[in-house]
Structure 1
């Protein structure tokens, strides 16, 4: 699709026909003035209203009690969205209906509708559809004491730690691959994997014998980029647009034992990085409180474009809300630091990969990231094995995947009946809201604080 986050669409008087949508939906704007907006599902709707404040009111087309991911409208939304100021969505096939609406707006309407893609610029942070296990960073061998002379100097691999994607490798005296562009006022974390002559992975870190580091190459511009060293990785922080060169180092007890000075790596610092979700990436970025902050900034930027007179209001609202998201991040950190286990069972589709990767725990799920996938008896048997192996008492379930007249999915009940687990707690990916939560005025933050964090504390064994 040729749309960018802030595409301006034109709106005409003719009726629109959507091949996949039929019927109609009532106008969400009481005034009918076209001054409101639409957001594709609950989390985006909540964030858009938090950022917009009193300036723009957003409508969520997904009914209370329904899951936003996997939802399909039964009405023709394009005319309603075309009469509003802005549409916030995720440009990914996992929300194909929203992509279809945007394509139809582009084709059939004249006028102005701001289209904000919450995934714009998120490409480097996305997890591949298959979870990226083949490219995952290998675990270091802590059971061996490495001699610097045994560590390979001919090759090491380097990774983008935002997604754990391998970027390339160093071979003798030259590079295969390269480091992605670094945005101004942002950072790109780079990790490396060194092996010895028996292919054992060398532990890296500030408290290890070996450290990974980097420096500016001799004579390279020093005003475009800052290098922050962490021992096991380096962060490249963009200061102003331009290009420079860096040299990576392997240190042993803080002494440089090898570097890439033979061929410094070229780094470009750019104003903004393009790129959103690809066809084969997990779209559940909204569950991660750190990535959520980036998406909130994207919404604020888009609203400022459509309503520049209130740009300062949107920026201030976004900063206030990001502070609340940062507090959720801190609560997740504390939770996992105090947990007695790092594995739980989640009877649902695999919607928490970004949270699992960030906070270093595992939710065993019976199916992948698609919400309409059905678990088999073998999947249930696998979950029983995990419960038994890790002595799990509390399992987790997605309340939006339960039948209308039941509290939890049938697979969760089956697991309780056939395993040592005795308790089940809800875990919500904030794709929707329930009538009870809506009555209490809960948004994304409250779902995390009131539902997810207490449930994960029980499932991972956090004791006061």
Structure 2
């Protein structure tokens, strides 16, 4: 039995159990036949369940003290191959809000949400409204024949300016409900997006329907066109989900999360807005630091374990050269390995970056073959137990990445 078939069977069993449990949540008073709420139904903080680490960290910074934010994926788990258990489905079933990144890093989300019985669950897709970039694996081969970045700098400046303006508006206006909606509409119109599809529909309410928004339909059409199904393998032609590695796009994700929490808990809407503004200010500082680092770097190429830094590279005019594909499990072919070795030697690349959650054996072999050293560049898809114990967070790890890139690009 394939892993996908086993996963589908697990979902069916878990969904049946949830239906049974749903009937046991409240008791009847035999005297007046009025429903007495179970302990879990008593008024309490908003319950928010999140998926990968950056989404958890963004959400808890926006939520502050007004929500209990639960990370579904535990420290030490590599998220590309992680699958939820029946117990995890129960956690989602008990939530008020479910926040996920979107894209194939969480290939299981659609199946899980279709399998649970929770009409009031608000779903927030953090990448909603963002255009995902396609992935191509021929980086080393292409760059060994010249450095054509292929960037549309005018479009990049437009997106970047919009992100900063959008964040700036929220950072300096604490009573901006109408202004925020107007700015969001303007953004959708400016980039040719329909507001209903990309402006508001990223916060889902199951009570309306189970349809996905146009972004998901576009991804499905893309997968069908390229012969892909919703399996967890990442291949040529897949859309890159690692948008959080770009501090500017991370700001947009934070705003999407804020809107979802405000919908679920309108009484604390202004607190969520204020928290989002304060966190966005930190992301703006991070963006400025990366800009300064990249502008002064001696070289632009950096070699990474898997293709998790495409958005960061695009933002700052750098060139990501990944050993593996969108998932660290997608290993290079022998010919691709030969291209990597050739490139590293010919371009005197001094550092090969590996990750803390994925097997670094290929990076180690390449380092031995080429004489390069290894260092950590963290895609922040998840934390190790040690990183969690040190209370490291997205901002702290991104600063470590900044320092590591600065060293490698100036060797």
> TM-score by structure 2 length?
0.68
Determine if the alignment matches structure 1 residue 282 to structure 2 residue 233: no
Report the CA distance between 1:73 and its aligned residue: 2.1
1:411 is aligned to 362
Report the CA distance between 1:293 and its aligned residue: 0.2
Determine if the alignment matches structure 1 residue 58 to structure 2 residue 69: yes
Determine if the alignment matches structure 1 residue 435 to structure 2 residue 393: no
2:133 is aligned to 127
Which of 393, 399, 414 pairs up with 2:350? 393
Cα distance between partner residues in 1 of 2:15 and 2:185: 49
2:11 is aligned to 18
Deviation digits for residues 9-62 of structure 1, max 9, x if unmatched? xxxxxxx9714979999xxxxx85674211011110111100000111211121
Deviation digits for residues 289-337 of structure 1, max 9, x if unmatched? 1000000000000000000010000000001101111111111111111
Q: In the TM superposition, what are the counterparts of 1:61-80 in structure 2 within 5 Å?
A: 61-80=72-91
Report the CA distance between 1:91 and its aligned residue: 3.4
Pairwise CA RMSD: 3.8
Cα distance between partner residues in 1 of 2:251 and 2:111: 27
How many aligned positions are there?
Answer: 320
Which of 302, 321, 329 pairs up with 1:372? 329
Change (3 A) 1:305 1:20: same
Between structure 1 and structure 2, the one with the greater Rg is 1
Structure 1: gaps spanning 5 or more residues: 1-15, 26-30, 141-157, 166-181, 188-236, 245-265, 403-408
Cα distance between partner residues in 2 of 1:44 and 1:419: 36
Cα distance between partner residues in 1 of 2:295 and 2:123: 40
C-alpha contact 2:92 2:98 (8 A) present in aligned 1: yes
Higher RCO by CA contacts (8 Å cutoff, separation 6 or greater):
2
Deviation digits for residues 80-117 of structure 1, max 9, x if unmatched? 21211110013334312122222223xx334x221111
C-alpha contact 2:100 2:126 (8 A) present in aligned 1: yes
Moved beyond 6 Å, runs of 4+: 20-25, 237-242, 266-270
Report the CA distance between 1:453 and its aligned residue: 1.2
For residue 276 of structure 1, give the secondary structure of its aligned residue in structure 2.
helix
Structure 2: gaps spanning 5 or more residues: 1-8, 19-38, 140-146, 168-181, 199-213, 221-237
Higher normalized strand content (fraction of residues): 1
1:448 is aligned to 398
Report the CA distance between 1:459 and its aligned residue: 1.6
Cα distance between partner residues in 1 of 2:341 and 2:259: 46
Report the CA distance between 1:377 and its aligned residue: 3.6
2:268 is aligned to 310
Report the CA distance between 1:399 and its aligned residue: 1.6
Report the CA distance between 1:239 and its aligned residue: 9.8
